[in-house]
Chains A and B, each alone.
Chain A
Amino acid sequence: MATMRENPVNVFGATLSRRHFVKSGGALIVGVSLAGTELLKGTSVKAATLRNSLDPALPQSWIEIHPDNTILFRTGKNDFGQGTPFTAYRQIVAEELRVPFEAITTVVTGDTDRTPDGSGAFDFLGKGTPNIRKAAAYTYQALLDLASARLGVPTDKISVKDGVASGEGKSISYGDLVKGQQLKLTIPVKGDLTSLFGLTVDGNPPVKPVSQYTIIGKSFPNSIISSKVAAKETWATDVRLPGMLHARVVHPKTLGSTLISAGALDKTKFPNSQLIAKGNLVAVVAPTEWEAIKASEEVARATKWSDWKGLPRSEKLFEHLRDQSDWSTASVTNGRATKGDAKAAIAAASKKLTATYQMPYMKHAPIGPTMAVGDVKADGTVEIYTHNQNPQALRGQIAKMLGITADHVIVHAYPGPGHYGRSNGGNAGAEDEAVLLSQAVGKPVRVQWMRADDMQWSTQSAAAFSDLQIAVDAKGKMVAYQADHYMPAMQDDRLLGAVLAGLPTMPAPELDTESVTSIVNNVSDPWIYAQVPNVTERGHGTFQIGQKASPLAVGIRDHSMRTPVQFQQNYPRETAMNEAAALAGLDAIQFRIENTSEERLVGVLQAVRDASGWDTRPSPRTDAVSSGAAGVRGRGVSALLRSGTYWACVCQIAVTPNTGAMVVEKYTIAVDPGVVVNPAQLKRQVEGGAVMGTSQALLEEVSFDESGVTQEDWLSYPILTMADIPEIKVVLLNNPKVGTYGGGSEAANALAAPAIAAALHDATGKMLRRLPLKPAYVQALLKT
């Protein structure tokens, strides 16, 4: 047997070393290098909380190979219903390591003291090279190196199958390679752990060629589904700590109200409750949940708040945005596709259209309102138990609020109701309130928002409008596209509890922040129609509505929501493309094909054309009608590129002109992500996105008066029900020659709105240029 080399070995930029021999057990543990990075800004090396000490040998490693051939991996990305850590990530790790899918027996996600890299529950596949793929690729190289030394065979003569390395007639399993030794592989990383994007694995270890894939491409089931269905999973809502108290927060009367006096707590009725008031943060804490609810309702009725009427009312939203918002402070951004002279081309063209498209505020609307358990211990360390898209960012935010370093904070991540981007910057609403109330009472506190809190005090997807101009020439060729996209700041990651309590938190969205919390509005919808010679795309940003005027500095807070910014920009663009096709007198799918040079876009368009039974012809249909009690049918198309994935969608609708009532009857969607990692899971994700997108297109709009959001429940903010879903057909286009895997879940919600709007136009001859396409708006449009 060859002897293990004692000195650290460089493996494609990672460092492999043996710490010592052990009598039993042993492992290869893949950790991060601390050298040259700012993993946790302002943190001492000797951490206050032992479990946070950032020693890569402690178990916040990426991957562990065990002597029994089982494998564990960890990711800072927490599952939000995509299932990726339990399906695609497992497949990717198994593929890169050349082990069976089943060899990966443990997946650890999210917890800040047990996972290495942070970042959010978004962009899981990271354009084909997520951290975990690179970590696995480094690990494979280290295992080859170990096998080479042990077998005395050069690495290029070694092949691995099912976790057994073989060469020159000799072989050894991964388990035997690590048995009796404590091996450490340290891989290079860069970035800031508690930032939005967390740490990124550096360097370029060789990855397995797509042509050799045996695990990626198969439909493995999602392990967490089984435990959830069997009521065996511990959800964030299930966390119970010794001595834990239940809290309900009495949020201010309006989005600008300050506290005059907190209502008294009747101790004869609620003997075990405590009233907590810290600045404008008012709450009731009680041993039982029901007492906390009843006592908080009584306190709320008697609490006096100042009045505030600083919002424009939702009926005047778009007037306010256009005429009374400051679009000059934020610099205007230019899209990368800008070329030629769109203005001149439009001026010279004979067929042209100038139109404005309007998108309202929409709620993330998780099925369960936000909740968290906060536990501030006597030594000042803090533990938080919650469902969070970015636990490391939350950790940094809580540290800032309390004036401590991040090593004093642990966030434990659990499953919970998906909230589609709302906490990707670190908080969904209840986390910091739970911490502040725990600090106040010296016990763990569970804060559960009620449904109305979640509708009225959470962030929302930003409203937006776009001014578009398009021109086509006499032959029907699109010659110019000009878009000006207007949207208030789309991401407010401040901690609401900190804002209410007057404690430090990050600044409200403003000009000079470099991150997504800036008021600058970027063009984020990739332009996919390269044959159009003249293109101008500009982004215009402003402050959140009401935030500067609100004495609380709150106003209507915005936050990225599934397909953020691109949802707001793709709807106008794709609707305008449909209008341009109509102007040219051409079929809307054929028109798109003629204006692009991207083969994959053509592929998804042809796929939805075939799968939907599309009849090639211009829109509107020749017998389109905009009045009458008889239903009329129409169909429309949309397309999109996001995170390396091409999408196209066809919607077929029926509308009753007299009432404006619309039914989406069929929904056909084609997706080309490059390599399809897990067909069954991708299909389910796309179906879900189709339903959520249809819901957004038909129903969803935040209403507000001068003081705040007026919706408080599911009756006032309805979402699509099962009775109203279309018949959905998903076409997956596996395209291995692309060589990577693109995102397959997020963008699926963005295709419905422009396709349904186009279908309405096809049926009636009229294009509704605002969302949602609800009966009152459709009816009003058809009467014009």
Chain B
Amino acid sequence: MVTITVNGDRREVHAPVDTPLLYVLRNELELIGPQFGCGLAQCGACAVLIDGKEVRSCITSLAEVSPNQEITTLEGLPARWAKQRGLSSEEAKHTLHPVQQAWIAEQTPQCGFCQNGMMIKATELLESNPRPTVAQIKEAFTTSGPSPNLCRCGTYTAIIDAVKHASALMAKER
């Protein structure tokens, strides 16, 4: 049995320690935000944040995650935002992370299968750079991670719009 910290909760999991985190999250903890896209860290569909850094859960084994590292999945983005902004638990229940709000406002996803990773990447970016330029957004989604974050439906333009929108929302709610 291994202990990990996911979305603020310590969780005991039973999977063998060589199991990629993706299957632990999806199949054991029923956190279905991260998706299986390639199993090779080449697309970003499985991304989660570990201590605020975007990580590909499909190639990160359980053994590589220490109990005190904070794993955040798509499901944990609202609470992450609430904690950062000191919102009450009641407020937190009824809010989405500004990145999620922006993704809806800009009607960004098409099939949406890659968008978990896109929102995780956007959160990582905006936490370190609250007002990114378009060039910085492109750099973040193309060269900053283990691979480019790939979208087959071609929503990159909508993602750029949504990151800018989220940036504005976060500045407003500061």
Interface size on B, residues (CB 8 A): 57
Query: How many whole Å from A298's CB to the nearest CB in chain B?
Result: 14
Residues of A within 8 A of B100 (CB): 229-230
Our pick among B15, B32, B43 for the contact of A288 (Cβ within 8 Å) is B15
Complex CA gap A417/B38 in Å reads 12
Q: Does A167 contact B (CB under 8 A)?
A: no
Q: Does B84 contact A (CB under 8 A)?
A: no
- Contact call B147/A81, Cβ cutoff below 8 A: no
Enumerate A283-332 residues with CB–CB distance to B below 8 Å. 288-290
- Contact call B154/A238, Cβ cutoff below 8 A: no
Complex CA gap A367/B35 in Å reads 10
Residues of A within 8 A of B20 (CB): 290
Residues of A within 8 A of B160 (CB): 722
Our pick among A226, A290, A367 for the contact of B151 (Cβ within 8 Å) is A367
Binary contact readout B101-130 vs A (1 if CB under 8 angstroms, 0 otherwise): 001100111111111100100000000000
Enumerate A431-477 residues with CB–CB distance to B below 8 Å. 448, 450-451
- Contact call B108/A225, Cβ cutoff below 8 A: yes
Closest A residue to B121 by beta carbon equals: A722
Binary contact readout A730-742 vs B (1 if CB under 8 angstroms, 0 otherwise): 0000000000000
- Contact call B110/A719, Cβ cutoff below 8 A: no
- Contact call A723/B142, Cβ cutoff below 8 A: yes
Query: How many whole Å from B92's CB to the nearest CB in chain A?
Result: 13
Complex CA gap A238/B116 in Å reads 14
Binds B, one of A684-692, A755-763, A774-782: A684-692
Complex CA gap A690/B110 in Å reads 14
Q: A366-B152, A418-B111, A418-B153 are in contact. Are A290 and B158 (CB under 8 A)?
A: no
Residues of A within 8 A of B96 (CB): 229-230
Q: A81-B112, A367-B45, A367-B114 are in contact. Are A451 and B38 (CB under 8 A)?
A: yes
Complex CA gap A418/B38 in Å reads 15
- Contact call A692/B152, Cβ cutoff below 8 A: yes
- Contact call B109/A228, Cβ cutoff below 8 A: yes
Query: How many whole Å from B34's CB to the nearest CB in chain A?
Result: 9
Our pick among A221, A369, A688 for the contact of B110 (Cβ within 8 Å) is A688
Binary contact readout A76-112 vs B (1 if CB under 8 angstroms, 0 otherwise): 0000111100000000000000000000000000000
Interface size on A, residues (CB 8 A): 57
Our pick among B16, B33, B111 for the contact of A416 (Cβ within 8 Å) is B111
Q: Does A714 contact B (CB under 8 A)?
A: yes
Binary contact readout B41-54 vs A (1 if CB under 8 angstroms, 0 otherwise): 01101000000000
Residues of B within 8 A of A276 (CB): none
Q: Does A519 contact B (CB under 8 A)?
A: no
Residues of A within 8 A of B114 (CB): 367, 417
Interchain pairs with CB closer than 8 A, number = 176
Closest B residue to A83 by beta carbon equals: B110
Query: How many whole Å from A162's CB to the nearest CB in chain B?
Result: 26
Q: Does A764 contact B (CB under 8 A)?
A: no
Q: Does B167 contact A (CB under 8 A)?
A: no
- Contact call B141/A229, Cβ cutoff below 8 A: no
Query: How many whole Å from A86's CB to the nearest CB in chain B?
Result: 11
- Contact call A722/B19, Cβ cutoff below 8 A: no
Complex CA gap A219/B49 in Å reads 34
Query: How many whole Å from B59's CB to the nearest CB in chain A?
Result: 12
Q: Does A491 contact B (CB under 8 A)?
A: no
Our pick among B45, B111, B149, B154 for the contact of A80 (Cβ within 8 Å) is B111
Residues of B within 8 A of A222 (CB): 107
- Contact call B107/A723, Cβ cutoff below 8 A: no
Q: A225-B108, A228-B112 are in contact. Are A713 and B42 (CB under 8 A)?
A: yes
Closest B residue to A416 by beta carbon equals: B113
Closest A residue to B102 by beta carbon equals: A229
- Contact call B111/A81, Cβ cutoff below 8 A: yes
Complex CA gap A450/B110 in Å reads 23
Q: Does A725 contact B (CB under 8 A)?
A: yes
Binary contact readout B144-159 vs A (1 if CB under 8 angstroms, 0 otherwise): 0001111111111111
Closest B residue to A289 by beta carbon equals: B23
Complex CA gap A39/B112 in Å reads 33
Q: A368-B37, A713-B42 are in contact. Are A722 and B110 (CB under 8 A)?
A: no
- Contact call B113/A229, Cβ cutoff below 8 A: no
Residues of A within 8 A of B112 (CB): 81, 224-225, 228-229, 233, 415
Query: How many whole Å from A19's CB to the nearest CB in chain B?
Result: 40
Q: A81-B112, A230-B100 are in contact. Are A714 and B152 (CB under 8 A)?
A: no
Enumerate B1-33 residues with CB–CB distance to A below 8 Å. 15-16, 18-20, 23, 26-27, 32-33
Q: A695-B154, A722-B159 are in contact. Are A450 and B107 (CB under 8 A)?
A: no
- Contact call B43/A450, Cβ cutoff below 8 A: no
Closest A residue to B33 by beta carbon equals: A231
- Contact call B150/A721, Cβ cutoff below 8 A: yes
Q: Does B79 contact A (CB under 8 A)?
A: no
Complex CA gap A289/B24 in Å reads 10
Not counting A684-B158, A721-B156, A722-B141, a sample of 14 additional A-B residue pairs whose C-beta atoms are within 8 angstroms of each other reads A231-B75, A234-B32, A238-B32, A368-B113, A418-B110, A420-B152, A448-B36, A451-B38, A680-B107, A684-B107, A688-B110, A714-B43, A714-B150, A715-B42
- Nearest 7 pairs between A and B by C-beta? A691-B154, A418-B111, A81-B111, A81-B110, A688-B154, A723-B142, A417-B113
Q: Mind listing 23 A-B residue pairs with CB under 8 Å?
A: A229-B96, A229-B109, A229-B112, A237-B36, A288-B15, A288-B19, A288-B23, A367-B35, A367-B111, A368-B45, A369-B36, A418-B110, A418-B111, A450-B39, A451-B42, A681-B107, A684-B108, A684-B110, A691-B155, A714-B40, A714-B42, A715-B42, A719-B150
CB within 8 Å of B: which residues of A?
Answer: 80-83, 221-222, 224-226, 228-231, 233-235, 237-238, 240, 288-290, 365-369, 415-418, 420, 448, 450-451, 680-681, 684-685, 687-692, 695, 713-715, 719-725, 728
